Amino acid sequence: MELVNQAIIANANKDKVSNADMFIRYSAHVNTISMQFYMTGWKQDSPHFESCEVNLSLPSEIQEAYWFIHNRKSFIF
């Protein structure tokens, strides 16, 4: 969750060099997290994004979420 917090804070930084955006949605009632990453920035009706949705009850899926953020953090941090 610390990496998720860093991604959210970095995404809100208006002084960042990159246009990349990452949106993170946590659903506590089903213990899932879903993420959408836009390499060139978010635009309405933008079809170009990567997404990841994981169940946080499963260790393998937590690892998937970690690597999804980790592999894209150079674009948003």
What are the pLDDT digits (tens) for 48-68?
789 999 999 999 999 999 999
Nearest-Å Rg of the Cα atoms of the chain is 12
Q: What is the domain range of residue 39? A: 2-76
**Residue predicted with more confidence, 44 or 53:** 53
Residue 43, pLDDT score: 79
Model-wide pTM > 0.75: yes
Query: How do residues 22-33 score in pLDDT, each as one tens digit?
Result: 888 999 999 999
**Residue predicted with more confidence, 8 or 55:** 55
Q: Cβ distance 31 to 56 under 8 Å? A: yes
Give the 3-state secondary structure of residue 38: strand
Give the integer Cα–Cα distance in Å for 32 and 37. Answer: 17
Count of structural domains, the chain: 1
Could you tell me the two tokens for 32?
């899932």
Cβ contacts of 75 within 8 Å, gap of 6 or more: 18, 20, 37, 39
